[in-house]
Amino acid sequence: MRSISRFLLSAAAAVAATAFVAAPGFAKELRILAWEGYADPDWVKAFEAECKCDVSVVFIGTDDEIWAKIKGSEGKDFDLFAVNTAQLQRYIDAGLTTPYDLDKVPNQKETLERFRDLSKVTGVMRDGKVMAIPYAFDSIGIIYDTDKVKEAPTSWKVLWDPKYAGKVLGYDNGEHNFTITALTMGIADPFNLTDDQLKEAETKLIDMKKNVLSFYTTADEALQLYQHNDIDIIFANYGQQQVKTMLDAGAHIAYVNPSEGAPAWLDTWAMTSGVQDKELAESWVNFVLQKQIGQQLSERTGFGNTVVPFDSAKPGDKLVWLRDVEDPTRRADLWNEVKASP
Amino acid sequence: MDEMPKTLVELRDVAKRYGGTEVLHGVNLALRDGEFMTVLGPSGSGKTTILRIIGGLIRPSGGAVFLDGVDISAMPINQRPFNTVFQDYALFPHMTVAANVGYGLTVRGVARAEIRKKVDEALHLVALDGFGTRYPAELSGGQQQRVALARAIICQPRLILLDEPLGALDAELRRQMQRFLKQIQREIRTTFLFITHDQEEAVTIADRICVMNRGGIEQIGSPREVYYRPANEYVARFFGDNNLIDATVADSGADGLRLASASGEFRARTSLAGIARGQAGKVLVRPEAIVLGDAAGGQNRIRVRIEDASFVGPVSQVRVRAVAKPDLALLVKLPSRAEGILLAPGSEMEASWSESECHFVPA
Amino acid sequence: MSLRAGIDVAELDEGRRARSYRIATTALAYLIPGVFILLPLILFLVQSFYYVDHGKEVHELTLRNYVRFFNDAAFVPVFLRTCILCLAVAVIAVAFAYPVAYLLASIEGRRKYVFALAFVIPLMMSYIIKIYAIRAILGSNGFLNRILLALGIIDAPLTFLIFNLQAVALTLAILLLPFAILPIFIALERIPRNVLDASADLGASAWQTFRRVIWPLSLQGTVVAATFTFVLALGDFVTPQMVGGTSGMTFGRIIYSQFGFAFNWPFGAALSVVLLALVLVALAITGLVTRRHPS
């Protein structure tokens, strides 16, 4: 009885509020800056209906573009933005973010185990405050030809396995090659290597080069190389996107995250320092952390979502969230030396 | 010419077709050893085609070419003992004058010292001593011309073919080169076949002239023959401003022809064989053979009225018209005089020419 | 008198206008290359004397980039290897281009220009697509291997066709072939027909005519062709990556990585200056060779 009256009361209040506001829009407005695929129109429409608000979404194409837009307006032009954990740090450093109140994001408790305890997700917390909430991710792993490789590889060491000499496709980028080599060497923080560790990794990479047929730069290029050559193992820099490209082309392949850990990028939602309606922003994050949206996100983009298990990672897979490396210039130089070595 | 010189090169029924067009049909030509022959004709008459067929640059479509009585139609160009002086000289721009001149010997594998000696001789012959180290681009047109000549004679060919070699030179240099060529030809005693479209040049330079027209030969003969005794109206018209009068043969005898025309009867001496009574043709008389004045005494006479007289350098041209038959106009050329020619237009007098200056060409 | 004066003034005006027009066009003729070519080059040269410290460009003039190039064990060998590779490209391209250009030039009439154009058309196609096509032909599962296998000529796919330096040289030579064909074709085209006739007429065999007349007269074009291909191959950084496999490391790729990955623009600029110096040397040699004859 009481509940009914409370419902009626709130309904009346809502009607009054609606009537008070000018007809086409709602008083509440949410401004989102995100990658394509992170705020699809059907989700936006559903959210607008649920929260009685207007949502405007601006899509971006590069990390630098996000920085330009957020930093340029000192966070005032947007309420919420999508950013990966490596990039996130400079926004926190610059005071461009607002911490979350996790009570306002109850669905966060329902996320996959590896994302549930945010203190264990590197980079999203600062000084005990939650600065960002994980939303989508993908890993860098290994693609193998299921016709030719009968037993699924489990380790990055397969790239060095002489059994696959001349049948390994490498990726032409110093940063990630040093990262996975460091993981193979058992180094805990593969993003901060000492000079000795870099030198040792370089030697190992020169060894790996002897096993590699060629280094590719784009997913399309990798597919073309795979189609015209005898290739068993691919260093899959583009993760699920690359898997999808190859499966669509009819390739018989599978994907694994090696046991030493697969480097992975993790995109999060972060609130700007200029957020106008903090609760509305938090309710958007809560909204998109639904199982149904998580499933759709993965199906549509191929990326892993944080709510429903998907192809990017099995529950037990070890993922190493990507961070800025100690010295990109140094890694590029060393990678050149690797490639220039006879 | 006490004894008939032997034939060097002979063309028998030589024809050339390009696609459907015949540029040369059934040409017969015998080139005598040691002579200077000019092939004369307007452009498109086939004269260059003849030269290229003899030289071996193109193959005839029909007939055959003989050298010393041997068929050489299939002999490749580089084996024929003939050399050519090309229209625009075709010197090798990347070689010195000496290398150009010595080229024919070089490709034959002649020893260097020998080549140097012969090159010096050839350059001396064409008066280009000391020019050996220059490049063709550093020479004048006349000098390039002489290099081309030296290059052609160095291998001592049996025949030198010259394809309008003087076309690019100015009038004065042209006359010099004509004398020069003639002199060299006598010096080296080699047969020259010289192509030109300039009848004055042909007459000046040649022992014999071959007059061509539309892919065929109209007449072969000495300059005097083709000039004074043209075989047909084409040749007659080709050599200047001949007066041609329609006539038929009234009588032909050992002492000459009697020719009937609308303007009266003419007498002519001619060596042309096979001219019979009743044959139609033209009476030909050269403008310089006509004498004006009542006192003159040629066998052929017409009374004419002076139309006008004009001074054109060494000769003066006088136009006259027959009094009895005004549609007969004649051109007369007289030696110019400082005081002018005292012939008043409208005055009447006798125009006469001798039997021996009168010629008949069958139609 | 007044009329004449009027005319004079008009003529004077005309002359002044013509002169200022001439000055303006001359200024433009110097300004445009100056602004768009020389200025960037100078900026580039200046940048090559800066350096990068912890990801930040320091605008202090120093020779350290050049010192590093000559001292680092990785760069000089790659530089030399790249020179040899590009020489090989030039030789291969010219060796293929010469006969093609020769055949083109010997076609009668205007048809030759149509055929010549046909050889230039590939220049308008995407470079990357051409490399993809070459890879599709030469790969171990590629077109060529499949044909050879189907014909029973080989039992196992040939793997030496691609992903080595020879493949880079061959691919670059094929890609740059039109640049080699054109100058040779033009040089051969310019040899007057009657010069060749003269050679034969003077007793030279076809081979002698080629060796003594055609070859020397087309040498300039051939040297230009070799220079074109050498210089263009030097600057290429895509082909080595795509068909060179693990041994496709060339100087162009090192420069590319300085701009694309290492973000060390000053060092990249210094390496580019080294490459530019090499290009200038190549052009100077070409100039010397082609100026030998006053023809």
Residue A9: its pLDDT value, please?
A: 43
Residue A230: its pLDDT value, please?
A: 92
Find the helix or strand (DSSP H, E) in which C281 lies: helix C265-290
State the Rg of chain C over Cα: 26
Q: pLDDT at residue C290 above 80?
A: no
B174 touching C, CB under 8 A? no
Q: For B188, what's the count of Cα atoms within 13 Å in the CB-facing half-sphere?
A: 25
In degrees, to the nearest 5, what angle opens at C-alpha A56 toward C-alphas A51 and A58? Answer: 140
Q: pLDDT at residue A7 above 50?
A: no
Chains C vs A: touching, with 3+ CB pairs under 8 Å? yes
φ, ψ at A84 (rounded to 5°):
-85, 160
The predicted model gives B114-132 an average pLDDT of 95
Looking at residue B133, the DSSP 8-state letter turns out to be: T
Superfamily of domain A11-136+264-313: Periplasmic binding protein-like II (3.40.190.10)
Find the helix or strand (DSSP H, E) in which A88 lies: helix A85-93
Nearest CB among C204, C208, C294 relative to B135 is that of: C294
H helix count then E strand count, chain B: 8, 20
Confirm whether A11-136+264-313 and A139-262+322-340 share one CATH topology: yes
pLDDT > 70: percent of chain C: 94
Asked if A224 and C162 come within 8 Å (Cβ–Cβ), the reply is no
C204 touching B, CB under 8 A? yes
Asked if C262 and A230 come within 8 Å (Cβ–Cβ), the reply is no
Give me the DSSP letters along B182-231: HHHHHHHT-EEEEEES-HHHHHHH-SEEEEEETTEEEEEE-HHHHHHS-S
pLDDT digits (tens, 9 = 90+) for A156-186: 999 999 999 999 999 998 899 999 999 999 9
Asked if C159 and A166 come within 8 Å (Cβ–Cβ), the reply is yes
Asked if C195 and B92 come within 8 Å (Cβ–Cβ), the reply is yes
Count Cβ–Cβ pairs < 8 Å, chain B vs chain C: 76
Best probe of the C interface among B59, B94, B147, B161, by most C CBs < 10 A, is B94
Q: What are the boundaries of each domain within chain A? A: 11-136+264-313, 139-262+322-340
B167 touching C, CB under 8 A? no
Interface of A with C in 83-142 (CB under 8 A): none
Q: pLDDT at residue A35 above 90?
A: yes
pLDDT digits (tens, 9 = 90+) for C220-260: 999 999 999 999 999 898 899 889 888 888 999 889 888 87
Interface of C with B in 74-113 (CB under 8 A): none
Q: What is the mean pLDDT of chain B?
A: 90
Query: Strand, helix or coil at A239?
Result: helix
Higher pLDDT, B346 or C13: B346
Interface of A with C in 178-237 (CB under 8 A): 209-210, 212-215, 217, 221, 224-225, 227-230
Please list every residue in chain C whose beta carbon sits closer than 8 Å to the beta carbon of residue B92: 195, 198-199, 212-213
Are the C-beta atoms of B281 and B360 separated by less than 8 Å?
Answer: yes
Q: pLDDT at residue A309 above 70?
A: yes
Task: Report strand pairing: B21-32 vs B191-196.
Answer: unpaired
Please list every residue in chain C whose beta carbon sits closer than 8 Å to the beta carbon of residue B145: none
Residue B238: its pLDDT value, please?
A: 87
Give me the DSSP letters along C240-260: HHHHSGGG---HHHHHHHHHH
Chains A vs B: touching, with 3+ CB pairs under 8 Å? no
Q: How far is CA A41 from CA A34, A80, B58, B323, C120, in A?
A: 13, 16, 81, 114, 48
How far apart (Å, rounded) are the C-alpha atoms in residues B67 and A66? 92
Q: Integer distance in angstroms from the first to the last C-alpha of chain A?
A: 84
Find the helix or strand (DSSP H, E) in which B36 lies: strand B36-40
B92 touching C, CB under 8 A? yes
Asked if C197 and B57 come within 8 Å (Cβ–Cβ), the reply is yes
Query: Strand, helix or coil at B45?
Result: coil
Burial (CB count within 10 angstroms: exposed 0-12, middle 13-18, buried 19+), residue C207? exposed
Assigned token pair, A78: 């947007």
Produce one character per residue of B215-226: b if its CB has 16 or more CB atoms within 10 Å, e if not.
bbbbbbbebebb
Residue B32 bridge partners (DSSP): B7
Nearest CB among B57, B79, B107 relative to C208 is that of: B107
How far apart (Å, rounded) are the C-alpha atoms in residues B193 and B190? 10
Are the C-beta atoms of B244 and B282 separated by less than 8 Å?
Answer: yes
Q: pLDDT at residue B11 above 80?
A: yes
- Amino acid letter, C25: T
Nearest CB among C246, C253, C263 relative to A214 is that of: C246
Residue B38 pLDDT class (50, 70, 90 cuts): very high
Q: pLDDT at residue B1 above 60?
A: no
Instruction: Name the residue of chain B whose CA is nearest to C208's CA.
Output: B107
How far apart (Å, rounded) are the C-alpha atoms in residues B82 and B103? 14
The predicted model gives A129-150 an average pLDDT of 96
Are the C-beta atoms of A337 and A201 separated by less than 8 Å?
Answer: no
pLDDT digits (tens, 9 = 90+) for A50-74: 999 999 999 998 888 999 999 999 9
Give me the DSSP letters along A3-72: HHHHHHHHHHHHHHHHHHS-SSS-SEEEEEEEETTSS-HHHHHHHHHHHTEEEEEEEESSHHHHHHHHHH
Residue B4 pLDDT class (50, 70, 90 cuts): low
Residue C124: its pLDDT value, please?
A: 82
Nearest CB among C202, C205, C217 relative to B155 is that of: C202
C164 touching A, CB under 8 A? no
Asked if C132 and A224 come within 8 Å (Cβ–Cβ), the reply is yes
Residue B219 pLDDT class (50, 70, 90 cuts): very high
Best probe of the B interface among C199, C201, C209, C217, by most B CBs < 10 A, is C201
Residue B264: its pLDDT value, please?
A: 83
Residue A284 pLDDT class (50, 70, 90 cuts): very high
Nearest CB among C55, C75, C142 relative to A329 is that of: C55
Residue B123: its pLDDT value, please?
A: 95
Residue A85, Cα to own-chain centre: how many angstroms? Answer: 8
Residue C9 pLDDT class (50, 70, 90 cuts): low
Assigned token pair, A73: 């307006």
Residue C87 pLDDT class (50, 70, 90 cuts): very high
- CATH code for the structural domain at A139-262+322-340: 3.40.190.10
Instruction: Name the residue of chain C whose CA is nearest to A174's CA.
Output: C261
Looking at residue A156, the DSSP 8-state letter turns out to be: G
Q: Integer distance in angstroms from the first to the last C-alpha of chain C?
A: 55
Closest CA to A63 of A297, A281, A265: A265
B157 touching C, CB under 8 A? no
φ, ψ at A332 (rounded to 5°):
-65, -40
Count Cβ–Cβ pairs < 8 Å, chain A vs chain C: 89
The predicted model gives A12-19 an average pLDDT of 42
Angstroms from C295 CA to nearest CA on chain B:
6
pLDDT > 70: percent of chain B: 97
C198 touching B, CB under 8 A? yes
Query: Strand, helix or coil at A180?
Result: helix
Q: A touches which chains (3+ CB pairs under 8 A)? A: C
pLDDT digits (tens, 9 = 90+) for A244-277: 999 999 999 999 999 999 999 999 999 999 999 9
Residue A13: its pLDDT value, please?
A: 44
Instruction: Name the residue of chain A whose CA is nearest to C82's CA.
Output: A340
Residue A28 bridge partners (DSSP): A53
Q: pLDDT at residue A130 above 70?
A: yes
Answer yes or no: is the ipTM higher than 0.85.
Answer: no
Residue C294 pLDDT class (50, 70, 90 cuts): very low
Residue C10 pLDDT class (50, 70, 90 cuts): low
Burial (CB count within 10 angstroms: exposed 0-12, middle 13-18, buried 19+), residue B150? buried
How far apart (Å, rounded) are the C-alpha atoms in residues C15 and C21? 10
Asked if C74 and A337 come within 8 Å (Cβ–Cβ), the reply is yes
C191 touching B, CB under 8 A? no
Instruction: Name the residue of chain A whose CA is nearest to C78's CA.
Output: A340
Nearest CB among A172, A229, A337 relative to C241 is that of: A172
Residue B341 pLDDT class (50, 70, 90 cuts): low
Nearest CB among C75, C142, C245 relative to A214 is that of: C245
Are the C-beta atoms of A265 and A200 separated by less than 8 Å?
Answer: no
Residue A247: its pLDDT value, please?
A: 94
Burial (CB count within 10 angstroms: exposed 0-12, middle 13-18, buried 19+), residue B272? middle
The predicted model gives A11-37 an average pLDDT of 64
Residues 6+ apart with CB under 8 A from B360: B247, B249, B257, B259, B268, B270, B272, B275, B281, B282, B283, B284
Q: What is the mean pLDDT of chain A?
A: 90
How far apart (Å, rounded) are the C-alpha atoms in residues A17 and B186? 125
C262 touching B, CB under 8 A? no
Higher pLDDT, B68 or B261: B68
Please list every residue in chain A whose beta carbon sits closer than 8 Å to the beta carbon of residue C52: 329
The predicted model gives B1-15 an average pLDDT of 83
Q: C touches which chains (3+ CB pairs under 8 A)? A: A, B
How far apart (Å, rounded) are the C-alpha atoms in residues A58 and A8? 37
User: Whose structure tokens read 């697969």?
Assistant: A262
Please list every residue in chain C whose beta carbon sits closer than 8 Å to the beta carbon of residue A230: 140-141, 157, 159
Asked if B107 and C293 come within 8 Å (Cβ–Cβ), the reply is no
Residue A15: its pLDDT value, please?
A: 43
Asked if A215 and C139 come within 8 Å (Cβ–Cβ), the reply is no
Produce one character per residue of B9-32: b if its CB has 16 or more CB atoms within 10 Å, e if not.
bbbbebbbeeeeebbbbebebebb
Asked if A228 and C249 come within 8 Å (Cβ–Cβ), the reply is no
Residue C8: its pLDDT value, please?
A: 59
Best probe of the C interface among B49, B59, B78, by most C CBs < 10 A, is B78
Are the C-beta atoms of B318 and B292 separated by less than 8 Å?
Answer: yes
Q: How far is CA B59 from CA A337, B14, B164, B177, C194, in A?
A: 67, 10, 21, 31, 16
Of A99-113, A140-154, B328-342, where does mean pLDDT reach its minimum?
B328-342
Asked if C201 and B84 come within 8 Å (Cβ–Cβ), the reply is yes
